[in-house]
Amino acid sequence: MIAASWVALIFLLCELFLSSVVHSVYGLYIFTSAVVGDVSEALNFSLRNFKLVNFEPKTVPPSSNFEQHLPPIVLVHGIFGFGKGRLGSLSYFAGAENKDERVLVPDLGSLTSIYDRARELFFYLKGGLVDYGEEHSRVCGHSRFGRLYEQGQYPEWDEDHPIHFVGHSAGAQVARLLQQMLADKAFEGHRNTSENWVLSITALSGAFNGTTRTYLDGMQPEDGDTMKPISLLQLCRVGVIAYDWLDIGWLKKYYNFGFDHFNMSWKKKGVLGLMKCALGKEGPFAYGDWILPDLTIQGSMRLNSRLQTFNTTYYFSYATKAPARRIFGIHPLLSIRALQMSRWRFPSDLSPPYKGYRDEDWHDNDGALNTISMTHPRFPIEHPTHFVHNRSQSQSWEPGIWYYKIVEADHISFIINRERAGAQFDLIYNEIFERCRKHVLRRKQPILPNQEH
């Protein structure tokens, strides 16, 4: 018995070491790639200016009136993600934002909770001082107010000027929660909001119902809220606390986990504050106000219990599933977890997370999320759905129904590096943008001055 326990501990430590190395190396690779890309771009720009001076005035082609009337398409990143302005010129969506004239890519907290990110997204678009809400801020131990957006990216946003949202991974839940907040009129000073401010929500590998990977990474399956004492997430927690406490200005401008409203900087916390955060007495991890609890099955069910599918909004989802040859057809960052998730068993001594739970339903995955979780909101209540077999079926799109496809790809096939997805990258994003532009306009297309009445 003792020998078996030692073997299990050694196996756990080896797996933890391998996982931490793989994730650290990949994170460093992304960071250095962004830096190298920025340096290279700066050098090329300097050389062009040195070799050739153009005295012709620069003109920017004006946007057409029709383009100005198009609803913006907002791309919402997932966990560990970033928006425009972070990591230099690197694009989280691998340049997909360049496929349309009116695309916004907000930079939200990469590890903050679904709730906090939804609040940030509202003020990014509408403008103003981010207000996390008095009650939520008090319960979660952080400042009520956050970043100031002096000028919103879409200040005219309202029912007559709605928006399309496209969310990758947890970004899909952020868009859903924001729509619910709009319906609930949850933003102080903005009493005219409604669910009709959102024209459509498209999910790409959307984290609707949680993922069993959270338990493999270190969340406790007993409650879906707390962390195991020895786990990858514990290492992540310590690293994030140190990063925010050091508060290196230029580094945080380059990449930020989004916890500034917790005031974990050494300037405000000091050494004693660092110790309290590290011991789990203060900070986002102490209050559970971060992304991982939202991504457990239990956490997703709690969130879904308050989120509606509205009959005036269009919904579409692309659920991803790893290729049959998992280890060789999937990104190295995800390959080990894909194999583990395909064999996941919920602890037999615990009550299952919901009635009718079966382990085999959760085996198909993309290395980060389970395929069953990505099709549409299922638990605790299943929302109206329609499975799309081929592209022609997705042309007719009715509101209030979750249309979904199953795509053979891993969780990061359609972000960061478009070459990995190949032609499928352009097919997916072209289809998304085409659908947003041609098939879901709630109001009639505006008549332009040069058109006949």
> How many angstroms separate the CA atoms of 104 and 84, rounded?
8
Length of the chain, in residues? 453
Q: Using N-to-C axis directions, what is the helix angle for 332-341 and 2-51, rounded to 10°? A: 150
pLDDT at 391: 65
Tell me the DSSP string of 123-150: HHHH-EEEE--HHHHHHHTS-SEEEEES
> How many angstroms separate the CA atoms of 10 and 278, rounded?
25
Contact 322, 330 (CB under 8 A): yes
- Residue pLDDT, tens place only, 415-441: 999 999 999 999 999 999 999 998 656
pLDDT at 245: 98
pLDDT at 5: 66
3-state secondary structure of 195: helix
Bond into 380 cis (ω within 30): yes
Longest dimension (CA), the chain: 85
Contact 209, 216 (CB under 8 A): no
pLDDT at 7: 66
Q: What are phi and psi of 72, to 5 degrees?
A: -65, 150
pLDDT at 450: 43
pLDDT at 11: 65
Bond into 449 cis (ω within 30): no
> How many angstroms separate the CA atoms of 448 and 453, rounded?
9
pLDDT in tens, the chain (453 residues): 676 666 666 766 777 777 777 777 777 767 777 777 667 666 665 666 545 444 344 333 444 554 567 899 999 999 999 999 899 889 999 999 999 999 999 999 999 999 999 999 999 999 999 999 999 999 999 999 999 999 999 999 999 999 999 999 999 999 999 999 999 999 999 999 999 999 999 999 999 999 999 999 999 999 999 999 999 999 999 999 999 999 999 999 999 999 999 999 999 999 999 999 999 999 999 999 999 999 999 999 999 999 999 999 999 999 999 987 555 678 989 999 999 999 999 999 999 999 999 999 999 999 999 999 999 999 999 999 999 987 665 567 899 999 999 999 999 999 999 999 999 999 999 999 999 998 656 654 444 444 443
